[in-house]
Structure 1
Amino acid sequence: MVQTMYGVPRPDPIGYLGQVAATGPGRAYKTYALAALELRPGLTVVDAGCGPGTDLGALADAVTGTGSVIGVDHDPVMLGEARRRTAGRAGVEVRAGDAQALPVADDAADRARADRVLMHVAEPARVVAELRRVVRPGGLVALTEPDWDTLTVDPGEVETGRAFNRFVCGSMVRHATIGRRLARLAAEAGLEVVAARVLAPTLSDFATADQVLGLRRNAERAVNTGELDAEAARSWLAGLAGPHFSASFMLYAVTARVPG
């Protein structure tokens, strides 16, 4: 691994996703997102942007051996890991494809989901339209996305924290504020929004927050691009690493129904 100037190794993508899912807030929001799909035995569910298969097992458990789970991802490394994790599991299929053009037939599924995918794709609206296309009338679509503009940390100099957020939203995440747009995107795709909830994951341990939020590694990037003063960044991080740390952000979860 490559070390940063602050001594933080850059995480591998599979390990990073596992770390996020293993945190208390990660487990809590994933439990909520799974429940929102109202899964039951016999249903077919599509996981668009399934990554290394983090949630495929839980989806398969919910629909049991009588249902089916289709995971879709474009990254060969993620696909390989997802297939390894689900090898031998009846009813689970992992397909190579783009979430903006799902390799799934019209009306082939009862449920579909995209979890922290829309913030990365070129055209989020296309993904939502694809989820609507593959779900038959009466079925549910679940979307979960953060809004990185809402990240707050304490302690630490407030203006430096705001500069950090501006850097992350402007340079690190393609659609950093996609969470607040989910309900509108669902409605514009012709879906009927049945639930829209804002969660507020909170991390009280700096080391965990640093892993999940990339505080030190992204501060380094901001310094390297001139968007953060090096001394201000060091002082900010030193304050965060002290006692009584907290970090929080808004995570939007929308559930919508295909009409008919």
Structure 2
Amino acid sequence: MLEFGDDEARRLDRSYATSDVVAQRAQTLDMLRLRRGESVLDIGSGPGYLLASIAEAVGPGGSVHGMDPSEAMNALARERCESMPWTTVGTGDALALPFADESFDVAVCTQVYEYVADMPTAVAELRRVLKPGGRAVVLDTDWDSLVWNVADRPLHDRIIDAWEEHLADPRLPRRLAGLLRRGGLEVTDQRVVPLFNPRLHADTFSTTIKETIAAFVPGRRGVTAEDAAAWLADLDARAAEDEYFFSLNRYSFSAVRR
């Protein structure tokens, strides 16, 4: 698993500010269909970008709760939402949500469930805290969709194999609709959320994710720090030669508790 300490929290914060993730957030908000005065839970609220947007959408007549197991993330989220007192942020676990039954009109969970091994319990908890008719949006990445132009393909494959160790299921989206249905939710919408970087620059998701990957993989699957550095150099060389190419798909699901 990734440990979201201060350094990783700051790196993720930069990633969430890129135009790729801004566009993802806009699509998530569109799928949430938020209304003024609603109560909303953000499971795995991270640095709080989506949480702040939700709070703005529901207004002071609503209530918004963010939860994340990382205190470094929670500190960023609290700071980002400090001007909206109808928003709270606390620690929590997707397998044991610290809220009463039927507490929320809406719940959202982005880039969290791929870390969760016991998905039936996670979905049961999601359904439990939703009111009848309550809505949920879930988004995760399928890492089989990753396309990255590299010269050293064997090294790249080793790096990505090691990277996938941080996930409970790196291919979760292909199972998500079925998991939600079996958990008592009606799936009402499914969308692909592409992250596409034909150039490498500061405002791209792949700039920050390659740093995160390179920091995580040494010592796993036989990957060394030198291997990680060589992989980064390969990507930078592709950019310098105007041959950079990165693409990754995330998948978003809307569901309703009937």
Pairwise same-fold verdict (TM > 0.5) = yes
Q: Which residue does the alignment assign to 2:126?
A: 131
Measured in 2, the distance between the counterparts of 1:141 and 1:234 equals 37
Measured in 2, the distance between the counterparts of 1:235 and 1:96 equals 38
Unaligned ranges ≥5, structure 1: 1-9
Q: Which residue does the alignment assign to 1:250?
A: 249
Matches within 5 A, 1:106-125: 106-125=101-120
> Displacement, 1:240?
3.0
Match for residue 78 of structure 1 among 73, 78, 82: 73
Q: Which amino acid aligns with 1:89?
A: M
Which range moves more in the overlay, 48-57 or 190-199? 48-57
Q: Is the 8 A contact 2:150 2:235 kept in 1?
A: no
Measured in 2, the distance between the counterparts of 1:17 and 1:179 equals 21
The answer on 1:217 being equivalent to 2:211 is no
> Displacement, 1:234?
7.1
Unaligned ranges ≥5, structure 2: none
Q: Is the 8 A contact 1:118 1:124 kept in 2?
A: yes
Which range moves more in the overlay, 48-57 or 76-85? 76-85
> Displacement, 1:138?
1.1
Q: Is the 8 A contact 2:217 2:223 kept in 1?
A: no
Q: Is the 8 A contact 1:128 1:185 kept in 2?
A: yes
Measured in 1, the distance between the counterparts of 2:238 and 2:159 equals 13
Q: Which amino acid aligns with 2:19?
A: G
Which range moves more in the overlay, 205-214 or 107-116? 205-214
Q: Which residue does the alignment assign to 2:238?
A: 240
The answer on 1:161 being equivalent to 2:156 is yes
Matches within 5 A, 1:128-207: 128-169=123-164, 171-207=165-201
Normalized against structure 1, the TM-score is what? 0.84
Q: Which amino acid aligns with 2:243?
A: H
Q: Is the 8 A contact 2:149 2:235 kept in 1?
A: no
Q: Which residue does the alignment assign to 1:15?
A: 10
Cα deviations by residue, 1:59-92 (Å, 9 ceiling, x for unpaired): 0111111111011122223223322332241311
Identical pairs, percent: 31
Which range moves more in the overlay, 227-236 or 42-51? 227-236
Q: Is the 8 A contact 1:151 1:165 kept in 2?
A: no
> Displacement, 1:47?
0.4
Cα deviations by residue, 1:164-205 (Å, 9 ceiling, x for unpaired): 332222x23332112222212211211100011122210133
Q: Which amino acid aligns with 2:211?
A: G
The answer on 1:43 being equivalent to 2:38 is yes
Q: Which amino acid aligns with 2:208?
A: Q
Secondary structure at the counterpart of residue 12 of structure 1: helix
Q: Which amino acid aligns with 1:16?
A: R
Change beyond 3 A, Cα 1:225–1:58: same
The answer on 1:226 being equivalent to 2:222 is yes
Measured in 2, the distance between the counterparts of 1:216 and 1:191 equals 34
Secondary structure at the counterpart of residue 106 of structure 1: coil
